[in-house]
Amino acid sequence: MTQFSDLNLDPKVLKAVSEAGYETPTPIQAGAIPPALEGRDVLGIAQTGTGKTASFTLPMITLLGRGRARARMPRSLVLCPTRELAAQVAENFDTYAKHTKLTKALLIGGVSFKEQDALIDKGVDVLIATPGRLLDHFERGKLLLTGVQIMVVDEADRMLDMGFIPDIERIFGLTPFTRQTLFFSATMAPEIERITNTFLSNPEKIEVARAATTGENIKQGVVMFRPSRKDREGSEKRALLRRLIDAEAETCTNAIIFCNRKMDVDAVAKSLKKHGYDAEPIHGDLDQSQRTRTLDGFRAGEVKILVASDVAARGLDVPAVSHVFNFDVPSHAEDYVHRIGRTGRAGRKGSAIMICNPRDEKNLEDVERLVQNTIPRLDDPKGTTAAASAESPVAETATEEERPRRTRTRSRSRSRDEAKAEEKSATVEPKAEVKPEPKAESTPAPKPEVKAEPKVEAAPEPKAAPEPKAETKPTAEVASEPKRGEGRGNDRNRGGRDRRRNDTRDEDVVGMGEDTPAFIAKSFEERRAS
């Protein structure tokens, strides 16, 4: 088996690699490093989690070992689709270049131009950037790309989704024709193929298996969900999500919940928080500092549930995620592979559980075709009534002032009478349609004390760039999401679900009128009797 020491890397790089605890190169590293060191173009078809970042950083550091940077003329350029990924690459660079004198700058949105300009003015060996921010600097006349000897394009397929391809083409055109190009993409869409044919010269092509498609360490399952009424779809689906999380409580240490649309990211995070879960949203419309804080919190185990859009979460290196919940079936089948690849990393066990609406069944077929497997159908964990535990539309649109009171009210009836409500609900419940197929084990449902353990090794994040076209603009509901540090944003600091449970003391309720549902009335009678 190839060892790092066989790869002709700079001894200083080898030392850093060994200090990082890596012994043998991963397949993408063993395949990409030798041609890269020979100065050849490389086309790596690999996704995050395969070790691809080191497959371009290690040879870059070795090749740049000789020579010095000149003011405003970086010697190498790494382009990443999101701020998170760019920051992650920068961290990798710091790890592997720690015994060298190479310098780097990170050009991402949300950081002041002034600081970044100062670094570039001094001259950097490695410039790590998102395409938009890089072009902003270029247009301000602060940057020359004619000194770029090595250019890396990371996650090209995501660049395509985000509409960055014209920027990438432009940047290619600003760098010298003689540059070396290391190009990485998880998939080879026709447009990506066109770019590589245009800008890469006789590349060495290395393709590594999609780890997630065959990942036997990832338990997969899908719950077929049918809302009882169209206007209740959102709240019933969120109630089902909570039941799924609860059912996994024993093994769920932390989780990423993926939604197809940004507005759902916000709605799901908000709703989970309201129900006492330790959840935070992350997507492209949130401001930089909030995204960084959320990610750092998630990595540190302070935030247990990250609710994310594909773009925001793509490529994040968060090795200890125990669960991925797909609130929707992704509309691009490849995203399923990326999403579930967030769990079960480095041989750990993981679970990937998805909810499928009737209208997503076509997408589910596409996913199953791509992974060449039938995803086991799961039962709704309790077969409960989503209606009983679903939020009312009123609560969903409550103002910040109104919300705490309503939340408490709801918590009261929920915590007391959930079971009774479920009984009753047979008629009301959305009853996630259950196809008893190969049944993936779902544990019975203690409450979700999604415990922390995550230790992570990557960096902060976001970008102001567009998210994939499929995502829609946030609605007013999204706009009302409280800022961190305000209102419910602090739930987790106050003890999250436990705290909420403690708050749900029963109180006498008057004025319910004659229409009080029997299951609620019963609880009062019991109370009165006692």
Q: Rule CB under 6 A: which residues touch ligand AMP?
A: 22, 25-26, 29, 48-54, 317, 319, 457
- At its nearest, how many Å lie between ligand AMP and the CB of residue 191? 23
Residue 48 or 187 having the CB closest to ligand AMP: 48
Q: How far apart are CA 321 and CA 336, in angstroms?
A: 16
**How many other C-beta atoms lie within 10 A of the C-beta of residue 150?**
23
For the chain, state the CA radius of gyration.
Answer: 25
Residue 77 or 244 having the CB closest to ligand AMP: 77
Q: How far apart are CA 499 and CA 491, in angstroms?
A: 9
- At its nearest, how many Å lie between ligand AMP and the CB of residue 187? 15
The phi-psi region of residue 502 (left if phi > 0; otherwise alpha if psi is between -120 and 50; otherwise beta) is alpha
Closest to 8 (Cα-Cα) out of 26, 25, 22: 25
Q: Are 107 and 116 in contact (CB under 8 A)?
A: yes
What six digits make up the tokens of 290?
């909030």
- At its nearest, how many Å lie between ligand AMP and the CB of residue 413? 45
- At its nearest, how many Å lie between ligand AMP and the CB of residue 60? 13
- At its nearest, how many Å lie between ligand AMP and the CB of residue 429? 42
Q: Are 244 and 441 in contact (CB under 8 A)?
A: no
Residue 57 or 290 having the CB closest to ligand AMP: 57
- At its nearest, how many Å lie between ligand AMP and the CB of residue 48? 4
What six digits make up the tokens of 65?
């070992």
| Terminal-to-terminal C-alpha distance of the chain | 73
Q: Are 353 and 378 in contact (CB under 8 A)?
A: yes
Q: Can you say how many angstroms the Cα of residue 522 is from the centroid of all Cα atoms in its chain?
A: 44
- The residue type of 161 is D
Closest to 62 (Cα-Cα) out of 87, 39, 37, 93: 37
How far, in Å, are 200, 292, 310 from residue 280 at the CA level?
Answer: 40, 12, 15
> What SS3 state is found at 369?
helix
Closest to 277 (Cα-Cα) out of 429, 499, 505, 503: 499
The half-sphere exposure of 340 on its side-chain side, counting CA atoms within 13 A, is 30
What six digits make up the tokens of 317?
């290196």
Q: How far apart are CA 209 and CA 186, in angstroms?
A: 10
- At its nearest, how many Å lie between ligand AMP and the CB of residue 103? 22
Q: How far apart are CA 61 and CA 95, in angstroms?
A: 11
Residue 23 or 169 having the CB closest to ligand AMP: 23
Residue 50 or 411 having the CB closest to ligand AMP: 50
Q: How far apart are CA 403 and CA 482, in angstroms?
A: 11
- At its nearest, how many Å lie between ligand AMP and the CB of residue 51? 3
Residue 16 or 143 having the CB closest to ligand AMP: 16
Residue 13 or 353 having the CB closest to ligand AMP: 13
Q: How far apart are CA 47 and CA 154, in angstroms?
A: 10
What six digits make up the tokens of 397?
């649109």
> What SS3 state is found at 127?
strand
- At its nearest, how many Å lie between ligand AMP and the CB of residue 32? 11
Residue 29 or 290 having the CB closest to ligand AMP: 29
> What SS3 state is found at 131?
helix
Residue 51 or 430 having the CB closest to ligand AMP: 51
- At its nearest, how many Å lie between ligand AMP and the CB of residue 206? 13
Counting every residue written for the chain, the total comes to 530
Of all residues in this chain, which one has the CB nearest to ligand AMP in the complex?
53
Residue 83 or 492 having the CB closest to ligand AMP: 83
Residue 319 or 495 having the CB closest to ligand AMP: 319
Residue 50 or 116 having the CB closest to ligand AMP: 50
- At its nearest, how many Å lie between ligand AMP and the CB of residue 450? 22
- The residue type of 94 is D
- At its nearest, how many Å lie between ligand AMP and the CB of residue 475? 34
